Amino acid sequence: MLMTLRIREIYGMSRIRGMVMLGLIISQALVLHILEGFLPVLAPGMKLGLANIMTLVTLVFFGFKEALIVVGIRAILGSLLAGGVTAIFYSLAGGILSCLVMGGLYYKCRQYFSIMGISTAGAIFHNIGQLSVASWMFGSIGILFSYLPLLTVTALGTGFFVGLASNYIIKYLQHRWFL
């Protein structure tokens, strides 16, 4: 079972140092987001979600509010740098809904869910958020119900992979964060 790691409480991190660490996490999330754009996709919307590794790391080490900030900044800047203006809506909807679900599971139910399970739930709800925006933009609820089963199956694999990677990073950083 993972314990809650609040960096400021454990290591006595100053406010400025915390902001610097969050800036580094945001930049890493942006790099992962942009690099993921170069990977081939089987169908629209099927991505690994590598930037969510940094969201989970932030959730564990800093907390929910900071994770939501990372998601928001990454969604806006990542969409502007590697997408388009409409991509901001998809990214924000999926990212915020995913972060809400992952935060709720992590802080309320972590005795029942591993980081891989929390990440998988986040991946599924990320797809729900993005497909809800697509349904709203195109005025057809059929987009949500026709594409969601396929994206849910892929979210099981990608969410587990992202959770596994996050788990290794979290365990590594627990012992070496400030060495």
The CATH class of 7-176 is mainly alpha
Residue spans per domain, the chain: 7-176
Q: What proportion of the chain, given as a percentage, has pLDDT over 70?
A: 91
Query: pLDDT tens, 131-168?
Result: 999 889 888 888 778 888 999 999 999 999 999 999 99
| Prediction pTM value | 0.87
Q: Torsion over CA of 77, 80, 86 and 91, rounded to 10 degrees?
A: -30
Confidence (pLDDT) at 111: 92
Mutual angle of helices 52-61 and 15-36, in 10-degree steps: 160
Query: pLDDT tens, 34-78?
Result: 998 888 887 777 889 999 999 999 999 999 999 999 999 999 999
pLDDT(113) > 70:
yes
